[in-house]
Amino acid sequence: MKQRMEKMNLKEKRVLLRCDFNVPLYKGMILDDTKIMNSLETIRYLIQNQCKIIILSHLGKIKKEEDKSYYSLEPISRRLQELLGKEVYFSRTFLNSELSKRIEMMLPGDILMLENTRFLDIPNQLETKCDAQLSSFWASLADVFVMDAFASAHRNHASTVGISKYIPSCIGFSVSRELLTLDRFLKEPELPFTVIMGGAKVEDKLDLIHTLLPKCDHLLLAGGLANSFLKALNFNVGGSLATESISTIENLKQILLTYREKLMLPLDAIVGSTYDENYTRYKRINEIGDNEVIMDIGNLTLEKYKTAIQSSKTIFLNGTMGKYEENRYSNGTKELLSLLKKQSAIVVVGGGDSVSAVKNLGFSNDFTYLSVGGGATLEYLTKGHLIAIDAIREEEKIEILDV
């Protein structure tokens, strides 16, 4: 087990806490504050321990100077303040002397949030290239580093990996919960185990497919993934989203041969058209026209997938059944989620869009676990480890920590 926060002596220490405050924003408004809520347990624990809490997080993608005006963490600090009922100070400056002075003046239990770590990517990508000087500067601000941003744990950045090279480090409650839950349900899943995968690009999911296929009893496919498999079987998928790569097609053919009994592919679809945006039809999968575009799965597919789902003890869902962002193509995903909701099986949902779909379609409280990790969750399930967690030492290797 990795060094856990609650096993360290943190009383009155200066703690650098990496949170995941990469929340969805619209015109500066927070659309979903789940990630902020998820950080509260760790922050409250640090307050109880009278720590001086210095919070780091990234927000959005910062590629150019203008991006900074959209992605300040200041609104997040205000929301955190409301949720905690306690002042959260905010620092726009990363300058060594000013920041050190400000931290010196903090009282036990005070919270200081620093501006978006990725602002330091302009111009030299100090954060995302895991710059050693930046990492050691941040480390110099605190006695202990707490990594509590699971969704960023697959990134080799200064604020996720760099700091832990310089000061004693541990994982916070939110990372610990995520690791334990994914391990508990998916490492050795209770059988029969069904994986449902949809979504966009098959290339993004090939490694995960290769990891999960030997472990699962059924793999039910939909979305762009299924289109690519259908293409490998020489079905006409018209103008649908599907792989163009010959080597991927070869790979899929091999998977189809090896795992024929486990794989299930759509029997029907709701299609749009490449040239008429009002065109919507129901089609059997062997009737797709050259100008038609598969957008969602149909009822026959749902009926077929139901048999595997009903016989399962564990179900993992990643990716949506269709282009669920458009109302007319959200039915497959909605119906699938309704079906999963009725099962007594363990149901785990992982992936950024998949969890958003669950929330937006009204199923937030209906499943065993919604993994908050997005890409990190998929990488953890595929590789079994994450670089920022690897960087933290094992519990038994740290004796009495004199921090």
Residue whose entry in the numeric block shows the structure tokens 């995960």: 208
Q: Which of 53, 146, 294, 348 binds ligand ADP (CB under 6 A)?
A: 294
C-beta of 296 vs 353, nearer to Mg ion: 353
163 belongs to the binding site for ligand ADP (CB under 6 A):
no
C-alpha distance from residue 339 to each of 89, 200, 309, 344 (Å): 46, 22, 8, 11
Contact between 289 and 238 (Cβ < 8 Å):
yes
Q: What mask of x and - would describe binding to ligand ADP in positions 332 to 371, judged by CB under 6 A?
A: -------------------xxxx-----------------
**103-129 residues labelled b (16+ CB within 10 A) or e (exposed):** beebeeebbbbbbbbbbbbbeebbbbe
What φ, ψ does residue 312 adopt, rounded to 5°?
A: -100, 150
User: C-beta of 348: minimal distance to ligand ADP in Å?
Assistant: 12
Query: Which listed option, ligand ADP, Mg ion, none, makes contact with residue 223 (CB within 5 to 8 Å by class)?
Result: ligand ADP
Query: Which listed option, Mg ion, ligand ADP, none, makes contact with residue 294 (CB within 5 to 8 Å by class)?
Result: ligand ADP
189 belongs to the binding site for ligand ADP (CB under 6 A):
no
272 belongs to the binding site for ligand ADP (CB under 6 A):
no
Q: Which of 40, 83, 200, 300 binds ligand ADP (CB under 6 A)?
A: 200
User: C-beta of 275: minimal distance to ligand ADP in Å?
Assistant: 16
C-beta of 312 vs 377, nearer to ligand ADP: 377
C-beta of 238 vs 352, nearer to Mg ion: 352
391 belongs to the binding site for ligand ADP (CB under 6 A):
no
C-beta of 171 vs 294, nearer to ligand ADP: 294
Q: What element of type H or E holds 333?
A: helix 331-341
Alpha helices in 49-172 (DSSP H): 74-84, 96-104, 132-140
Nearest to 44 by CA among 97, 72, 93, 85: 85
198 belongs to the binding site for ligand ADP (CB under 6 A):
yes
Q: Which of 318, 330, 331, 371 binds ligand ADP (CB under 6 A)?
A: 318
Query: Which listed option, ligand ADP, Mg ion, none, makes contact with residue 320 (CB within 5 to 8 Å by class)?
Result: ligand ADP
**Contact region for ligand ADP (CB under 6 A) — 19-27, 150-158, 193-201, 270-278?**
193-201
C-alpha distance from residue 146 to each of 116, 142, 338, 396 (Å): 17, 10, 38, 17
Q: Which of 10, 295, 389, 392 binds ligand ADP (CB under 6 A)?
A: 295
In 3-state terms the chain splits into helix, strand, coil percentages (rounded to 5) of 40, 15, 40
320 belongs to the binding site for ligand ADP (CB under 6 A):
yes
319 belongs to the binding site for ligand ADP (CB under 6 A):
yes
User: C-beta of 361: minimal distance to ligand ADP in Å?
Assistant: 13
Alpha helices in 105-167 (DSSP H): 132-140
Query: Which listed option, ligand ADP, Mg ion, none, makes contact with residue 162 (CB within 5 to 8 Å by class)?
Result: none
Query: Which listed option, ligand ADP, Mg ion, none, makes contact with residue 172 (CB within 5 to 8 Å by class)?
Result: none
Q: Which residues bind Mg ion (CB under 5 A)?
A: 352-353
C-alpha distance from residue 234 to each of 20, 228, 238, 244, 300 (Å): 43, 10, 11, 13, 21
Nearest to 362 by CA among 334, 321, 323: 334
C-beta of 99 vs 209, nearer to Mg ion: 209
Query: Which listed option, ligand ADP, Mg ion, none, makes contact with residue 318 (CB within 5 to 8 Å by class)?
Result: ligand ADP
User: C-beta of 388: minimal distance to Mg ion in Å?
Assistant: 21
Query: Which listed option, ligand ADP, Mg ion, none, makes contact with residue 332 (CB within 5 to 8 Å by class)?
Result: none
The alpha carbon of residue 200 and the mean position of all alpha carbons in its chain are separated, in whole angstroms, by 16
Could you tell me the two tokens for 169? 């480090």
User: Which amino acid does the sequence have at 142?
Assistant: A
Q: Which of 189, 224, 266, 298 binds ligand ADP (CB under 6 A)?
A: 224
Q: Is 28 left (phi over 0), alpha (psi -120 to 50) or beta?
A: left
The alpha carbon of residue 282 and the mean position of all alpha carbons in its chain are separated, in whole angstroms, by 33
Query: Which listed option, ligand ADP, Mg ion, none, makes contact with residue 198 (CB within 5 to 8 Å by class)?
Result: ligand ADP
Q: What element of type H or E holds 14?
A: strand 14-18
User: C-beta of 286: minimal distance to ligand ADP in Å?
Assistant: 17
Distance (Å, whole) CA 292 – CA 33: 38
